[in-house]
């Protein structure tokens, strides 16, 4: 039995990751998002795919809520150990550099970096030996990749997440917790439309979710502390 947590589960890639895992008989999934209604729809879809799927929607704000109290009161009622954590929640702001504000900076780094730091730190006692943390990053934060106007702070936050992933992998060596980051290229999501209006991506959320699910289960057998580009196009 695999115990799995997926954040940013109410739409796009996160939504499809949960659906992909729900097809597995031997998995229990906690799907985290702020949006209760979308989580309700997600559970309905998962049960239609597999009436025996063990999916538990959990609505709270990773940016603001007390993660430790949520883990103690909510997550721990479903399972006591974690095999896979997929940190998929993220936010994008598309704005020229000169128009960015301190509020924009704080928003991007609070959601894209700090919330992951807080969640992993709070879950640390629950991770089993040989568990796998996957941090979903972006090609925008991948060193040497193409950069685009309007996405400077978003890309910087994803670059910070990439380095944090490498550092966590090193720090968790003795605990035998594996950490990798996937730097995603263009996937046809609402966030892509926000970044590149009208652009048609070569990859769908369903296709990317299948890749991430398979990587979450098997990737840590081959990689640890890696930031891996997953991209077919520019952007």
Q: pTM for this structure? A: 0.94
- Please report the pLDDT score of residue 189 as a whole number: 85
The pLDDT of residue 24 is above 80:
yes
The secondary structure of 156-217 as a DSSP string is HHHHHHHHHHHHHHHHTTTTT-EEEEEEE---SSHHHHHHSTT---SS-HHHHHHHHHHHHH
- Please report the pLDDT score of residue 235 as a whole number: 65
pLDDT digits (tens, 9 = 90+) for 26-65: 899 999 999 999 999 999 999 999 999 999 999 999 887 7
Q: How confident is the model at residue 185 (pLDDT cuts 50, 70, 90)?
A: confident
Query: Which residue ranges form the domains of the chain, and what is each CATH number?
Result: 2-230 (3.40.50.720)
**What integer best gives the mean pLDDT of the chain?**
94
pLDDT digits (tens, 9 = 90+) for 109-165: 999 999 999 999 999 999 999 999 999 999 999 988 989 999 999 999 999 999 999
The secondary structure of the chain as a DSSP string is -EEEEEESTTSHHHHHHHHHHHT-TTEEEEEEES-HHHHHHHHHHHHHH-TT-EEEEEE--TTTS-HHHHHHHTGGGT-S-EEEEEE---------GGG--HHHHHHHHIIIIIHHHHHHHHHGGGEEEEEEEEEEEEGGGSTTS---TT-HHHHHHHHHHHHHHHHHHHHTTTTT-EEEEEEE---SSHHHHHHSTT---SS-HHHHHHHHHHHHHHGGGT-SS-EEEE-SS--
Using an 8 Å Cβ cutoff, are 133 and 174 in contact? Answer: no
User: If you average pLDDT over residues 182-192, what whole number do you get?
Assistant: 87
- How far apart are alpha carbons 224 and 131 in whole angstroms? 11
């Amino acid at each position: 039995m695999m115990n799995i947590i997926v954040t940013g589960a109410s739409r796009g890639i996160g939504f499809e990751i949960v659906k992909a895992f729900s097809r597995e008989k031997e998995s229990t999934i906690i799907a985290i998002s702020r949006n209760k209604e979308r989580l309700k729809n997600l559970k309905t879809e998962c049960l239609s795919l597999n009436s025996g799927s063990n999916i538990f929607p959990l609505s709270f704000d990773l940016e603001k809520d007390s993660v430790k109290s949520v883990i103690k009161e909510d997550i721990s009622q479903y399972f006591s150990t974690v095999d896979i954590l997929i940190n998929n929640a993220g936010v994008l702001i598309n704005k020229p550099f000169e128009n960015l504000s301190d509020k924009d900076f704080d928003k991007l780094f609070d959601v894209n970096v700090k919330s992951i730091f807080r969640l992993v730190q709070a879950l640390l006692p629950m991770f089993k030996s040989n568990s796998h943390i996957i941090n979903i990053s972006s090609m925008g934060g991948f060193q040497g990749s193409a950069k685009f106007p309007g996405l400077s702070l978003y890309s910087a936050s994803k670059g910070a997440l990439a380095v944090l992933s490498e550092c966590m992998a090193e720090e968790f060596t003795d605990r035998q917790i594996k950490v990798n980051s996937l730097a995603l290229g263009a996937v046809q999501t609402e966030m892509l439309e926000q970044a590149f209006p009208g652009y048609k991506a070569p990859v769908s959320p369903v296709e990317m979710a299948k890749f991430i699910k398979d990587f979450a289960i098997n990737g840590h057998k081959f990689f640890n502390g890696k930031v891996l580009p997953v991209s077919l196009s520019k952007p």
